[in-house]
A and B are shown apart, each in its own frame.
Chain A
Amino acid sequence: MARFLVRRLLTMIPVVLGTTFIIYAAVYALPGDPVQSLAGPDRAVSPAAAAALRSHYHLDSSLLVQYGHYLSGLLHGDFGIDFGDVPVSSLIAAGWPVTVRLALTTWVIQAVAGTGLGVLAAVRAGRFPDLAVLGGSTLILAVPYFVTAYVAQIVFGDRLGWFPVSGVDAGWPRSYLLPALCLALLGVPEVARLTRAAVLENLGAEFVDTAVAKGAGRIRVLVRHVLRPSLIPIVSMLGLTLGTLLSGTILIEGIFNLPGLGYQTFQGVQQHNGPVVVGISTLLVLTFLFINLVVDVLYVVIDPRIRLD
């Protein structure tokens, strides 16, 4: 296990370097003035702010030196400064609890609804519940989730008044439930389809007959001999949806005014505050890489068939 971990961590290094370099190159190495491109064409940057950015990012040095400074900054938790000389890391510190709450709520909804619907569809394969799940998931995939979010906000928030439409003043879970439901729509169809396929495959497996031949009851057969082996692909899929979910928070937090990392990014785009967008995106990329690492390790832990050498 230790050797696997070390090897997995080693393969992560080029990926971390690669992703951060792409971000860095896109922002600071494209032709033109990086400060102006971060601000967008319509915004005048004060000379003081421009000077602060230049010195913070060492924009006068050569590209590799710049990248080196930038990378060592990342390692020290420095995600850059915005046009008001506010460190992005302080925005991150203020925003992450909201985003983590939203992401975890969404993730739980996704896991429960996705696997539940997938199992239902598999057990009733070819009949109404199955067709409903398949059809419903296609429809959900077709409607962009930010559209669903606006409709939900208008219908359940404004018109029916069931949920707050903006901010986190009502606390968890009231303020988070509606955004989390909308965000969960991104992952539920995928999780449900994968669960369906995995459960269907295992339902036809011979070890299920073995379990029945032992005299095991229906519930026991379903849980231990059908769901348990299906869990392996499902868990890895659930891990990977966390990545989709991270980017989803940008639009959802923007629409519901939840003051998290996504909201900061959303505002950053709207107000042409480029360094904030780049800094937080970098954090999200690193988080995603970390999640992938955890998923891989988990995969090895729950699937005894994978050999570690």
Chain B
Amino acid sequence: MTSLLSAPEAASASSALEPVPANGPLRSLLRRPRFVFSAFVVVLLCAVAAGPGFFAGWFGHGDPHACDLDHSGHGPTAGHPFGYDIQGCDLYSNVIHGTRDSLGIGLLTTAVTLVTAVVLGCLAGYFGGLLDLLISRLMDVFFGFPVLIGMIVVLETFSVHSVTSVSLVLALFSWPVLTRIMRSSVLTVRDLDYVVAARELGAGHLRILVRHVIPNAIAPVAVLTSMSIGGVITAEASLTFLGVGLRAPAVSWGVQLNTAQQYFTDHLGLLLFPSLFLSLAVLGFVLLGDCLRDAFDPRLR
């Protein structure tokens, strides 16, 4: 268990150190309570997602599937700090286990979105012309969907509602925002002197893109990823709550809210505890994104 715990912490610590150009931004970040709080929340949730069994067992009832209908909907008791859900399972352990799928969708969707944005943004911004026209029109089409509506339609007709399929649908409707930013960022970098110089020296397009354009154009997009994870987690919860997102046997916080929706009035805990974790996760990622943007993208200050 300890190895599972330390892995994500080590990973996020090193990734936080790497992209820092100078020591300045990180040091000033660490002085901010907002950053320390949000980074702590995010690291902790990642740890929970990586090893839910460890955290779920803290109160002695770690198995989310050990259920007893006699306890259906009962409130908190000793050993069951959040009480029981409608099936009589331990709610705390369920909420802990829900972390993995909720976070997983957030991370997977954002990763797919980011890769798409970088590739399409580079193609449109760097090469321009017909390619740019096509990609830009395609973005316009996707911007034509109000938030969630396109996802609802596509998910409604999907027969598989797994973490992967839901993430892909979320990414399908999320890529245009980041792509548009990446494209305009590439457009400004493309004509900078050192890129022009590299081109005149005969460097190939791929080399120029990878060595010069992407490293210098990616910052505005990169700082939005943390915020995007927060947004995706909310979107997944809304879709799943509505009934078109994840379905059992997946156990995201949205799934728990969805299955309990008829019982909220009588069993407030079924609403509060999953939402608490959900909100904390979103708050963590959004605040972290805020701090990162402040620290690394002076243009947006």
User: Do A and B touch directly, given a CB cutoff of 8 Å in the complex?
Assistant: yes
Chain A residues within CB distance 8 Å of chain B: 11, 14-16, 18-19, 22-23, 26-27, 30, 32, 34, 37-38, 41, 138-139, 141-144, 146-147, 150-151, 154, 158, 243-244, 246-247, 250-251, 254, 265-266, 269-270, 274, 277-278, 281-282, 284-285, 288-289, 292
| Complex interface residues of chain B between 174 and 211 (CB less than 8 A to chain A) | none
B297 is an interface residue with CB less than 8 A from chain A? no
For B, the interface residue count at a CB cutoff of 8 angstroms equals 41
| Complex interface residues of chain B between 261 and 301 (CB less than 8 A to chain A) | 264-265, 268, 271, 275, 278-280, 282-283, 286-287, 290
B15 is an interface residue with CB less than 8 A from chain A? no
Whether B265 and A144, one on each chain, are in contact in the complex, defined by CB atoms closer than 8 angstroms, is no
B24 is an interface residue with CB less than 8 A from chain A? no
Whether A285 and B146, one on each chain, are in contact in the complex, defined by CB atoms closer than 8 angstroms, is yes
Whether B146 and A284, one on each chain, are in contact in the complex, defined by CB atoms closer than 8 angstroms, is yes
B66 is an interface residue with CB less than 8 A from chain A? no
Binds A, one of B54-62, B73-81, B113-121, B137-145: B137-145
Contact of A18 among B144, B154, B230, B268 (CB under 8 A): B144
Known: A144-B275, A250-B242, A251-B242. A19 touches B156 (CB 8 A): no
CA distance A26 to B169 in the complex (A): 11
Q: Which residue, B142, B144, B150, has most C-beta atoms of chain A within 10 A?
A: B144
Whether A32 and B141, one on each chain, are in contact in the complex, defined by CB atoms closer than 8 angstroms, is no
Q: Hey, which chain B residues are within 8 Å of A138, CB to CB?
A: 283, 286-287, 290
Q: Hey, which chain B residues are within 8 Å of A292, CB to CB?
A: 144
Whether B283 and A22, one on each chain, are in contact in the complex, defined by CB atoms closer than 8 angstroms, is no
Task: Find the A residue at minimum CB distance from B253.
Answer: A144
Q: Hey, which chain A residues are within 8 Å of B150, CB to CB?
A: 19, 22-23, 281, 285
Nearest first, the 4 A-B pairs at minimum CB distance are: A18-B141, A142-B283, A243-B146, A247-B148
CA distance A38 to B158 in the complex (A): 9
Known: A141-B282, A274-B156. A19 touches B141 (CB 8 A): yes
CA distance A250 to B147 in the complex (A): 12
Q: How many A-B residue pairs have CB under 8 A?
A: 130
Contact of A247 among B146, B154, B241, B264 (CB under 8 A): B146
Whether B279 and A147, one on each chain, are in contact in the complex, defined by CB atoms closer than 8 angstroms, is yes
| Complex interface residues of chain B between 222 and 264 (CB less than 8 A to chain A) | 230, 234, 237-238, 241-244, 257, 264
B22 is an interface residue with CB less than 8 A from chain A? no
Whether A18 and B275, one on each chain, are in contact in the complex, defined by CB atoms closer than 8 angstroms, is no
Chain B residues within CB distance 8 Å of chain A: 137-138, 140-142, 144-150, 152-154, 156-159, 230, 234, 237-238, 241-244, 257, 264-265, 268, 271, 275, 278-280, 282-283, 286-287, 290
CA distance A41 to B158 in the complex (A): 10
Whether A151 and B159, one on each chain, are in contact in the complex, defined by CB atoms closer than 8 angstroms, is no
Whether B241 and A277, one on each chain, are in contact in the complex, defined by CB atoms closer than 8 angstroms, is no
CB distance from B236 to the nearest CB of A (A): 10
Whether B287 and A269, one on each chain, are in contact in the complex, defined by CB atoms closer than 8 angstroms, is no
Known: A154-B265, A277-B156. A144 touches B238 (CB 8 A): yes
Whether B149 and A247, one on each chain, are in contact in the complex, defined by CB atoms closer than 8 angstroms, is yes
Whether A247 and B147, one on each chain, are in contact in the complex, defined by CB atoms closer than 8 angstroms, is yes
Whether B157 and A27, one on each chain, are in contact in the complex, defined by CB atoms closer than 8 angstroms, is yes
Whether A142 and B230, one on each chain, are in contact in the complex, defined by CB atoms closer than 8 angstroms, is yes
Contact of B278 among A11, A147, A247 (CB under 8 A): A147
Q: Which residue, A138, A151, A247, has most C-beta atoms of chain B within 10 A?
A: A247
Whether A141 and B145, one on each chain, are in contact in the complex, defined by CB atoms closer than 8 angstroms, is no
Task: Find the A residue at minimum CB distance from B237.
Answer: A144
Known: A18-B137, A139-B283, A141-B286. A251 touches B241 (CB 8 A): yes
